[in-house]
Each structure stands twice: as C-alpha cells, then as structure tokens.
C-alpha cells in the first residue's frame, strides 16, 4: 500500500509588484520561517530534505541551487533545486516521502520578477533557437494563436474570456496578498488594447514578487504535527512535445494527461462532483477556460458558459481561482503553481478570510509553465 503524506505547514511572503526592501533570500526566509512556525517544526532538527524550484535565467545566477540552503534552514542538509513549476517541486518533495526514506520534507519556490529587468527577453529565450526564435515575434503571440484556435474549436466567446478577468481580479480584491486585485468590468477588458489577436491587454497576467514554502510530512508524522493535515491524494504531471508546428492547439493535452494521472491516483472518477473547487493556471484569461475543460471539470466548450453564468464565482457551484488566480494575485514565475496550491490549502483549512468558500473538502491545483511550453502539473488535496 502506498504511504500517505500531507501538507502540514504553509508560509508565504508577498505578493507585490515590487519588493525593494527584501532580497530574494530574505523573501525566502520570511516564507520559510512562517511555514516552519505553522508546522511546528525546526528545520535543522526536523526537516530531512529541502526541495527548491528555480530557473537560472529568472534568477540571473547560474547553478542557482548554490544560493538556496542558508535562508531556508537547509545548510548542511540534503537540498536540491529543480527548474519547473512549483507544483513539480511539491511533487518532488511528495515523492521523497513516498520512498519511506524521509518523513518531513519542505518545498520552496519564489519570484523576484521585478529584478529581472529584461524578463520579456528571458521569455523569448524559451523559444526554439534555430527555427523559431529568429522570426523575432514576441512569444505572447503563442497565447494569441492558441486562444484563436480554442475559440474557433469550442465556440467560446471573447466576452466569456473577458469575464474570467472580471472574476479573478475581483477575487484578488478580497485577497490581501494579491498584487493585482481590482474591480474591472467586462467593457474595460474588452476595450483594452488587442495586443496579440485575439488576446487583449487586460487578459494577460502581470508579474509579482513573492515566495511560497510548504512543509510536507508522511501520514503518521503529519497527524502528530497537526490536527488539520491537508492530504495529498493525487499528483500528475505531463509535458507534450514542444513543437509549435505539431502540438495540440485546442485542448491543452498536458493538462488533460496531468489530471488523468492525479485523478487516477486519488480514485476520482467524476471530478466535477468529487472536487469542490479549483485553483488553476490563468496566465492568460482563456487559459482558465481551456484548462477547466482539459482538467475534466466540465465538458469541452462549456467553461465559457459556466463563467458567464457565475458558476465559477466564489458563491457559484464550482468556484475557480478564489484567490484571484494569476490574473489577480500576479504571475509568480516558477512559484505560480505553488501559489495556486497555497490557496487550496488555505481554503481547505478555512483560513481564506473574506474569500473563504463554505464547506470545501477537496480542491485541485494546476500549474502551467507558460508560453511556449506544454508543461503542466496537478495536485488533488483533501482535508
């Protein structure tokens, strides 16, 4: 029988458009100190392994893992860094617990997006260098192309996509740690500049700085540490082929496969019935709808209607991105997915303040690595 594991502590610093008062190390320290306090653990005495998530180009430092241990209490301990989404890091930590070799493991991810002064260039360097990059187009066009195909194949409307922005930035308004919460109306979104047809300016999330840390523990240890462990019921992750020339432009296959794996592990057959809410990547507004369908939270072409009818609002039948999502909280680079998982934990613990959902027992978090990738990771969490 598979070992069980739970999230027993969370901490975060941020999220803010800029953070000139703190170094990235101090931001990581703040998040880690809060998470350890929350879990009631001492990193040096109790935590057996440390997983961090970082991308050298985002940090401006090669072999970034070298600069990780001190501020998370991991000096002289097993530490490693992976490039990926924060949920990939969460899964890496979880797998260490599943081996039986570890009982308490932590995961950290952060964003100092404000310090990467040529972030749009860094994004462009994710493009295939020989036959894609020389064309010189801003890589957001990939989202424009995908949105175009998604609308074409599902009948989803531009208004429905814009409604995601209204909802998520509105939810962010109720979240004190969201950097980009705002009351915007449909007209403001629809009349904002079309920057990568059919994608509009307000449909693209803005970056934020911040750090997220979680402490994970194996089943029995988790129950000793807290009266409210948040159980990891299923994880899944998937990369499609990177090729822009041949990929699936309609259905976010990476999300579908990630979810199938996670649901299979969690024993979930009817996700829209067995899951109460979701925090899923909305780096671009249409992505929330496309991801909802790929994650089997509704049928193909249905997500747009659900958002329009208010079904994914805080008081709707299936709330999506109660935190405000990436549009409301801010895009946290490699920490974005962990930010989604953080909200699932807070909601399940009943600690989400003004945006708290009633009676939630199971939530889904899904992260995507952004353009041009087809890289996603999902986790199903339950009280």
Partner 1 sequence: MSAKIESFPGTPLSQADLDAGKVLTTYWKPKLEYGWDAGVAISRYLEELKNGRIIGIKCSRCRRVVVPPRVVCEWCWEPMNDWVYLQDTGTVNTYSICYIRWDASRAKEPQFPAVIWIDGASNAGFLHLLDEVDPDDVKIGMKVQAVWKPAEERAGSITDIEYFKPL
Q: Which of 2, 134, 227, 358 is in the footprint of partner 1 by CB under 8 A?
A: 134
Show contacts with partner 1 in window 98-127 (CB under 8 A).
Answer: 112, 114-118, 121-122, 125
Strands 277-280 and 362-368: parallel
| In the complex, minimum distance from the CB of residue 28 to partner 1, in angstroms, rounded to a whole number | 10
330: left (phi over 0), alpha (psi -120 to 50) or beta: left
Round to whole Å and give the CA distance between 336 and 286: 17
Between 40 and 155, name the residue whose CB sits nearer to partner 1: 40
Concatenated DSSP letters of 327-349: HHH-B-GGGHHHHHHHHHHHHHT
Between 115 and 192, name the residue whose CB sits nearer to partner 1: 115
Return all residues near 363 (Cβ < 8 A) that are at least 6 apart.
275, 276, 277, 278, 279, 344, 347, 348, 380, 381, 382
| In the complex, minimum distance from the CB of residue 232 to partner 1, in angstroms, rounded to a whole number | 26
- By CB under 8 A, residue 159 contacts partner 1: no
Q: How are strands ordered across the β-sheet holding 375-382? A: 79-82, 49-53, 104-111, 209-218, 5-16, 230-239, 375-382, 362-368, 277-280
Q: Which stretch binds partner 1 (CB under 8 A): 69-77, 169-177, 300-308, 336-344?
A: 69-77
Round to whole Å and give the CA distance between 333 and 84: 10
Between 22 and 186, name the residue whose CB sits nearer to partner 1: 22
Between 125 and 197, name the residue whose CB sits nearer to partner 1: 125
| In the complex, minimum distance from the CB of residue 322 to partner 1, in angstroms, rounded to a whole number | 30
**Contact map string, positions 13 to 32, toward partner 1, x by CB under 8 A:** ------xxxxxxxx--x---
- Distance of alpha carbon 364 from its chain centroid, rounded? 10
Collapsed DSSP state (helix, strand, coil) of residue 148: helix
Size of the site for partner 1 (CB under 8 A): 34
Residues 362 and 233 sit within 8 Å (Cβ to Cβ): yes
Between 23 and 191, name the residue whose CB sits nearer to partner 1: 23
CB crowding 39-56: b at 16 or more within 10 Å, else e: bebebeebbebbbbbbbe
- By CB under 8 A, residue 185 contacts partner 1: no
- By CB under 8 A, residue 263 contacts partner 1: no
- By CB under 8 A, residue 234 contacts partner 1: no
188: left (phi over 0), alpha (psi -120 to 50) or beta: alpha
Between 133 and 305, name the residue whose CB sits nearer to partner 1: 133
Return all residues near 104 (Cβ < 8 A) that are at least 6 apart.
41, 46, 47, 48, 215, 216, 217, 218, 221
Between 80 and 149, name the residue whose CB sits nearer to partner 1: 80
208: left (phi over 0), alpha (psi -120 to 50) or beta: beta
| In the complex, minimum distance from the CB of residue 123 to partner 1, in angstroms, rounded to a whole number | 12
Q: Which of 75, 101, 137, 317 is in the footprint of partner 1 by CB under 8 A?
A: 75
| In the complex, minimum distance from the CB of residue 117 to partner 1, in angstroms, rounded to a whole number | 4
Radius of gyration of the chain (CA): 19
Between 115 and 253, name the residue whose CB sits nearer to partner 1: 115
| In the complex, minimum distance from the CB of residue 81 to partner 1, in angstroms, rounded to a whole number | 17
Dig out the tokens for 359 from the structure.
């009676």
- By CB under 8 A, residue 44 contacts partner 1: yes
| In the complex, minimum distance from the CB of residue 308 to partner 1, in angstroms, rounded to a whole number | 42
Between 1 and 130, name the residue whose CB sits nearer to partner 1: 130
- By CB under 8 A, residue 244 contacts partner 1: no
| Residues engaged in binding partner 1 (CB under 8 A) | 19-26, 29, 33, 42-44, 57, 60, 69-71, 73, 75-76, 112, 114-118, 121-122, 125, 129-130, 133-134
């Amino acid at each position: 029988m598979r070992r069980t594991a739970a999230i027993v502590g969370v901490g975060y610093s941020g999220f803010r458009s800029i953070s000139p008062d703190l170094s990235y190390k101090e931001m990581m320290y703040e998040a880690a100190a809060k998470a350890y306090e929350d879990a009631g653990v001492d990193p040096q005495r109790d935590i057996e392994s440390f997983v961090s998530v970082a991308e050298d180009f985002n940090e401006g430092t090669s072999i970034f893992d070298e600069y990780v241990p001190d501020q998370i209490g991991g000096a002289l301990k097993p530490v490693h860094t992976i490039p990926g989404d924060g949920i990939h890091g969460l899964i890496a930590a979880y797998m260490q617990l599943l081996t039986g070799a570890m009982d308490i493991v932590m995961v950290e991810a952060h964003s100092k997006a404000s310090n990467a002064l040529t972030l749009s260039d860094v994004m462009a360097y994710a493009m295939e260098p020989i036959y894609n990059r020389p064309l010189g187009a801003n890589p957001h066009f990939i989202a424009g192309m995908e949105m175009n195909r998604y609308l074409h194949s599902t009948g989803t409307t531009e208004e429905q996509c814009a409604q995601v922005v209204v909802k998520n930035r509105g939810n962010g308004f109720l979240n004190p740690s969201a950097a980009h919460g705002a009351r915007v109306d449909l007209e403001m979104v629809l009349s904002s500049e079309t920057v990568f047809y059919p994608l509009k300016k307000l449909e693209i999330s803005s970056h934020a700085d911040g750090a997220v840390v979680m402490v994970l523990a194996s089943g029995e240890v988790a129950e000793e540490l807290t009266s409210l462990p948040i159980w990891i019921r299923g994880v899944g992750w998937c990369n499609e082929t990177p090729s822009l020339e041949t990929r699936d432009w309609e259905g976010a296959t990476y999300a579908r496969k990630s979810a199938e794996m996670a649901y299979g592990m969690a024993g979930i057959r009817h996700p829209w019935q067995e899951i109460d809410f979701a925090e899923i990547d909305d780096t671009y507004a249409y992505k929330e709808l496309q991801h909802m369908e790929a994650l089997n939270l509704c049928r193909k072409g249905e997500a747009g209607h659900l958002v329009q009818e208010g079904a994914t609002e805080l008081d709707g039948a299936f709330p999506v991105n109660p935190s405000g999502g990436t549009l409301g909280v801010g895009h946290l680079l490699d920490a974005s997915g962990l930010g989604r998982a953080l909200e699932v934990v807070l909601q399940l613990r009943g600690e989400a303040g003004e945006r708290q959902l009633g009676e939630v027992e199971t939530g889904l978090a899904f992260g995507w690595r952004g353009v041009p990738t087809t890289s996603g990771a999902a986790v199903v969490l339950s009280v």
